[in-house]
Structure 1
Amino acid sequence: MSLHPPPAAPLPLVLVHGTRTSRTQWDPQRPALVAAGHTVLTPDLPGHGERRREPFALDAAMRVLHRAVQRAAADDPRGRAHLAGHSLGAMLAIHAAATLPDPGVLSSLTVIGGSAQAGERSARLYGAVMRSAAAAGRHGSAGLLPRLLLHAEGHRAYVAGGLTASAVIGPAFAALAGLDLRADLARITCPVTILNPRFDQMRVHERSFAAAAPRGRLVVLPYGGHLVNLTAPDRFTADLLRVLREG
């Protein structure tokens, strides 16, 4: 008879997508995560994916993320879950983790390509860039840049749930500009991993983000750009699984 109990099954995982895309952004990761034992939830943010007809509002986004985490935790006998987000989804995940009605349900938070504190000016600038990309899509070049950057599987995942209308982008980035993400991180008591690809443009405040969280750490991958989960899906999934095990 073994004196050691069997290892606990991995906890459920909520994954939050980035700007303009949808829950399908995580399609390349899902099979390996499920094979590793994770139950995976991928909600659409307001104004994205199956919620494209909804206006984006911060309180609505928080309801979506809080419910997803609570649902994931409720479906596990230990009553806990992991939360991870990318880009816009990473920043919203920080605020969601800081404002959960029951913070004890969160086992870890992973912030992927989202360690930048937006101000009003930077939010307007980045929002303008994203709106230009959305406008280009209406003129027949939808997904042109992702198509150039991504291989076929990654591009399918990026666009499969539909691309967000430009009207959503302004309110989303205005909401980010109104958040103090470092203050939010200071309120999060679970382990927090700031996980950034080497060539990600959203790394600008990574050190102060990691330092702000009581149990924060910074992990910089030696490869990849902002869409790393789509440009290097297998390598990134292996690193995400490692981070979740360590967290």
Structure 2
Amino acid sequence: MAALPAIVLVHGIRTSGTMWRRQVQDLQAAGFVVDAPDLPGHGTRIGEEFTIDAAMAAIDDAVSRHKGPVLLVGLSLGGYLSIHYAGQKPGRVTGLVAASCQTLPRGVGLWGYRALARGIHRLPDRGAWLNDAMARRFLPAEGVADMAAGGVALEVMDSALTAVGTLDPLDGLRRYPGPVWFVMGGLDHFRLSQRAFLRARPDASVVVVPRATHLVSLVKPDEFTRAVTDAARALTVDSPQISENGTGTGIVTP
């Protein structure tokens, strides 16, 4: 049997690596090595400038800490960044889970999201009360605590959204030759381009978690952890060996 992959978890916008506390706990209990880095401008790195290059460096640092196979898991902002990283450095990633990021980050939708973020940022508390109220309304208590534990990056919204708008996730998916899983909540509003993502990777596995919203890992933590565990264990059965230039070199079997 091939070695279990290390799992690198990339968080969403405004949150931090602590949003993965439940997944880290449960995956480690199942025998996986897990890494949940903070992106620039978030968590322990609040105050730093967010750029795509800095985000890629943060992911690369986490991936590079592990010498064997790596399953890269990203949600929302982290999903777009993980797709971009896997497309740029396919030889570093054995499998990719892209969660809650099946809307193309461009056009009217992105413009509206940025306008909303700028409006919220002009509130006296930079939107802290609204963020906390929405979290309490839509997340279970454990999810609220996990999201808040690393702090809320109120200043990073516009710069992160602007940066993500420069990415082409469909190109990243086409460039990455390894196995891909799309995970999303059944009630997620970030599914508008799901067909385009599937056209880019028709071989991808799709996991839809019923009654889960955008922050599926916090709303339905057990179901999300199960999806990641299933993906990771699938890599131990038939993991494609991918060279640094993205060329598959065969299948590893037990």
TM-score by length of 2: 0.85
Of 153, 157, 170, 1:164 maps to 153
Query: How high is the sequence identity, in percent, across the aligned residues?
Result: 37
- Inter-CA distance 139–57: structure 2 relative to 1 (3 Å threshold): closer
- Pairwise CA distance, 1:85: 0.4
Q: Is 1:146 the counterpart of 2:135 in the alignment?
A: yes
CA distance in 2, matches of 1:217, 1:232: 19
DSSP-derived class of the 1:211 partner: helix
- Inter-CA distance 223–230: structure 2 relative to 1 (3 Å threshold): same
- Inter-CA distance 133–16: structure 2 relative to 1 (3 Å threshold): farther
Note the residue ranges of structure 1 that are not aligned, 5 or more in a row: 1-6
Q: Is 1:128 the counterpart of 2:122 in the alignment?
A: no
Q: Is 1:46 the counterpart of 2:40 in the alignment?
A: yes
Residue equivalent to 2:197: 209
- Inter-CA distance 154–209: structure 2 relative to 1 (3 Å threshold): same
TM-score by length of 1: 0.87
- Inter-CA distance 239–223: structure 2 relative to 1 (3 Å threshold): farther
CA distance in 2, matches of 1:193, 1:36: 20
Aligned CA RMSD, in angstroms, stands at 1.9
Note the residue ranges of structure 2 that are not aligned, 5 or more in a row: 236-254
- Pairwise CA distance, 1:133: 4.8
- Pairwise CA distance, 1:83: 0.1
CA distance in 1, matches of 2:163, 2:111: 11
- Pairwise CA distance, 1:138: 3.8
Of 105, 108, 114, 1:118 maps to 105
Q: How many aligned positions are there?
A: 233
- Inter-CA distance 71–214: structure 2 relative to 1 (3 Å threshold): farther
Residue equivalent to 2:70: 81
Of 17, 33, 45, 1:23 maps to 17
Of 221, 230, 233, 2:209 maps to 221
Greater relative contact order, per chain length (Cα 8 Å cut-off, separation 6+) = 2
